[in-house]
Amino acid sequence: MEIRQATEDDIDGIRGVARESLEASYSQVLDQDAIDTAVSNWYDDETLQENLGDTEHFYLVADDDGKVVAFSESLLVDETEPAGEILWLHVLPNSRGEGVGTRLLEHTEDVLQDMGADYLAGLVIAENEVGNEFYRDHGYSLVGERDVEVTGVPYTEREYRKFWQDDAESEGLEIVATSGGETLYVDHHETLHANQGPFFAAYRDGEGENLYGWLCSNCDSFDNAMDSMGRLECNSCGNKRRPLRWDAAYL
């Protein structure tokens, strides 16, 4: 088993692993149409080619004698505090329970640390009990929850973080004001990757529990809209976020 950086030759393998993993992990929660839509939106040739060419977007694959049996997808978000965001970690159903996910996670952590990430963040829907347990077992701590929608259905999403130093602490929320004078609290660690710069989560409260919306880092505007599939676009500058995940750990 070899863990290596993905190439365009792995596109079909990545797409196949994603589909089988999603079907195995969420067939009781999501219907087939929702899974088909996710795969076609996130793993079409054009999207994967673009992401593979992005220097801050990383794909690692587990190669078993020429066959892709697992992959991880992650981002380096270099803002207030450089963070490595694990978007997906997929393993083929018949390769689970063999330590493939653990090896892939360790290699992903090494890559992100070498790139300068101060900590790692993983997002997992609460219903994915195996994914939640996986992060806890590998030294990640639960730091918060928020409400999300997957094809119109509400879920609770949990965020786990792992710092390189035991005493590392995240910075507090930034207090900002909207053009209408409303006070908001921006979390520069909770981000959505976009083509002109990340979006940051903005809350109505200092505890980060009541989500207001998203601040565009490219133009400092809160004027944006998100559709039911997670596509987010800034109405001021056109900064676009293409949805990359529902959940990071399907193991």
Only one residue has tokens 């790139």, namely: 115
Nearest CA to 6 out of 120, 99, 108 is that of: 108
pTM of the full structure: 0.69
- CB-based contact 98:212 (threshold 8 Å): no
b/e 164-195 (16+ beta carbons within 10 angstroms → b): eeeeeebeebeeeeeeeeeebbbbbbbbbbbe
pLDDT tens-place string over residues 205-231: 887 888 899 999 888 899 988 876 667
Domains of the chain and CATH, by start: 2-168+244-250 (3.40.630.30), 174-241 (no CATH)
Residues 6+ apart with CB under 8 A from 187: 173, 174, 200, 201, 202, 203, 208
Going 27 to 3 to 86 to 44, the CA torsion angle's sign is negative
SS3 159: strand
pLDDT tens-place string over residues 76-113: 886 667 889 998 899 999 999 889 999 999 999 999 99
